[in-house]
Amino acid sequence: MNDLQLIFAILSGIAILLLLIIRLKLNAFLSLLIASIWVGLIGGLSGEKIIDSISTGMGNTLAFVATIVGLGAIFGALLEHSGGAQALAKFLLKKGGEAKSRLALLVTGFIVAIPVFFDVGIIILFPIVKALALKSGKNVLHYALPLLTGLAITHSFIPPTPGPVAVADILKVDLGYAIVVGAAIGLPISLICGLVLSRFLTPKSAIINQEAAVVDDQFDSKLVRTIFFILGLPIVLILVGSLLKTLAGEGIISGGAIVDAISFIGHPFVSLIIATLLAMYFLGSKRGATKKELFDVANKSLGPAGSIILITGAGGVLKQMMINTGIGEMIADAMKSGTISIVLLAYLVAVLVRIMQGSATVAMLTAAGIVAAVIPGMDLTMLDKTLIMMAIAAGSIVLSHVNDSGFWLVNRYLDHSVQQTLRSWTIQSSMISLSSFILIYIAYQAI
């Protein structure tokens, strides 16, 4: 199989993927599968090998991701159902006062997006944004852009949010590394873009919906403490488990029953099961929710989770097809010659797919599938792979516009025209993407 045929296989595969989603409006799961099969056929695989690649790619990916995404969805639904996200926002606003309200909203978005999907975060938190704008007389973007920045960055950078979890699994990145590096990149970029750069996009005049409901500032302080505990517990357990496992693997500490037990509890499966059960009790049963209500909340949450899980599995199929055709090895050889940086490739592929078809998740998984096929042929540390994962995340945020469902949700809740949303959220999302990639690229070159 010559290199030109392999290059044609991957380029035409991406073109078909975009055509199916954009022109034919086919759902992302089916589009990814069809594009993957095309790559296999043009790449010279037999029918039997293509079927085997689908089975292997789907199975290997979902073995980890399905559990994490499912648990995270239930956890997030319970947070929404209990009113915990709004209580958290009100708590941070009261602690920060009027002067620090933008910072409070940014932090709220950053925290809430850990278990809650981006669009759900907008729906449950925007009433507070509108109430603040109405009370202060300032433009709604003054408060909306910090919140959206926090939501978007955590949604793309920090596990156990579904997108980062899926990319981490495809690239074989340790979740402990992903959480630490994602936070190290996400926090400063949130502050720079959410608090500083966003001011340049905010008009002086107040453009708000005068009928917006005013949200009272009362909150349950006990609920807020419970939320901090339940949200923080799985992250701490994952970090501790990952650290001990790494130290034991390097021979810095000796293994044993205690290390094994802590590593077991710190595995994402176990830590998220514990957190979800605690959420069901403290945010559900203890607050008066019946067994049927909890059952319904959990079941409803798995609907959108199922879509994410299937799309993620299809991304794993694309990765496997690229490995089996030899496309990944070919790209790896080009990387060794210094033609293009792997971190730049990861970013550009995610940017291309994001701009063309709109979905951040599809952009992340397409880029991850391509990059994952390249990595085995390269000498990369875990930190290298984590930064590559972050480059993919950065690319998936760029240029939210009319083909992105999130764009229309922001547009609707801001009560803005399409042009106003393009001048605000589209530019803001691009600033987040570019500034985070610059930081990632500098870090990758420095290590």
The residue that leads in pLDDT, 252 or 244, is: 244
Contact call for residues 113 and 150 (beta carbons, < 8 A): yes
Which of 51-65, 232-246, 334-348 has the lowest average pLDDT?
334-348
Predicted local confidence at residue 206, as pLDDT = 61
Residue 248 tokens, joined: 């034991």
Q: Quick one: pLDDT band at residue 303, thresholds 50, 70, 90?
A: confident
Predicted local confidence at residue 383, as pLDDT = 92
Q: Quick one: pLDDT band at residue 118, thresholds 50, 70, 90?
A: confident
Predicted local confidence at residue 274, as pLDDT = 93
For residue 267, CA distances in Å to 65, 68, 180 come to 13, 11, 16
Question: What residue type is 84 in one-letter code?
Answer: G
Predicted local confidence at residue 212, as pLDDT = 46
Q: How far apart are CA 198 and CA 156, in angstroms?
A: 19
Q: How far apart are CA 72 and CA 271, in angstroms?
A: 11
Helix (H, G, I), strand (E, B) or coil at 317: helix
Burial per residue of 16-44, b for 16 or more beta-carbon CB atoms within 10 angstroms, e otherwise: bbbebbeeeeeebbebbbbbbbbbbbbbe
In the chain, the N- to C-terminal Cα span, in Å, equals 36
CA angle 419, 422, 185 (to 5 degrees): 165
| Region 153-174 average pLDDT | 88
Could you tell me the residue ranges of all domains in the chain?
Answer: 3-446
Residue 31 tokens, joined: 């589009």
pLDDT surpasses 70 at 216: no
CA dihedral 186, 189, 191, 195 (to 10 degrees): -130
Which of 103-112, 207-216, 349-358, 408-417 has the lowest average pLDDT?
207-216
Rg of the Cα trace of the chain? Answer: 22
Q: Which of these, 273, 201, 244, 119, lies nearest to 430 by C-alpha position?
A: 201
Sole residue written with tokens 């605690």:
278
Helix (H, G, I), strand (E, B) or coil at 290: coil
The most distant pair of C-alpha atoms in the chain lies apart, rounded to whole Å, by 67
Predicted local confidence at residue 385, as pLDDT = 93
Model-wide pTM > 0.85:
no
Q: Quick one: pLDDT band at residue 418, thresholds 50, 70, 90?
A: confident
pLDDT > 90: percent of the chain: 23
pLDDT surpasses 60 at 213: no
pLDDT > 70: percent of the chain: 94
CA dihedral 437, 440, 441, 444 (to 10 degrees): -160
Q: Which of these, 401, 403, 421, lies nearest to 413 by C-alpha position?
A: 421
Q: What is the mean pLDDT of the chain?
A: 85
Convert the pLDDT of each residue in 61-104 to its tens digit: 888 888 888 888 888 888 888 888 888 888 888 877 666 888 98
Convert the pLDDT of each residue in 378-398 to its tens digit: 788 899 999 999 999 999 999
Q: Which of these, 246, 358, 441, lies nearest to 366 by C-alpha position?
A: 358
Q: How far apart are CA 141 and CA 208, in angstroms?
A: 9
Contact call for residues 41 and 293 (beta carbons, < 8 A): no
| Region 216-233 average pLDDT | 81
Per-residue DSSP letter, 213: P
For residue 250, CA distances in Å to 238, 242, 255, 265 come to 18, 12, 10, 20
pLDDT surpasses 70 at 358: yes
pLDDT surpasses 70 at 284: yes
CA angle 362, 400, 199 (to 5 degrees): 140
Q: Which of these, 98, 157, 88, 142, lies nearest to 388 by C-alpha position?
A: 157
Per-residue DSSP letter, 398: S
Q: Which of these, 293, 277, 407, 390, lies nearest to 342 by C-alpha position?
A: 390
Question: What residue type is 437 in one-letter code?
Answer: F
Q: Which of these, 310, 409, 324, 392, lies nearest to 352 by C-alpha position?
A: 392
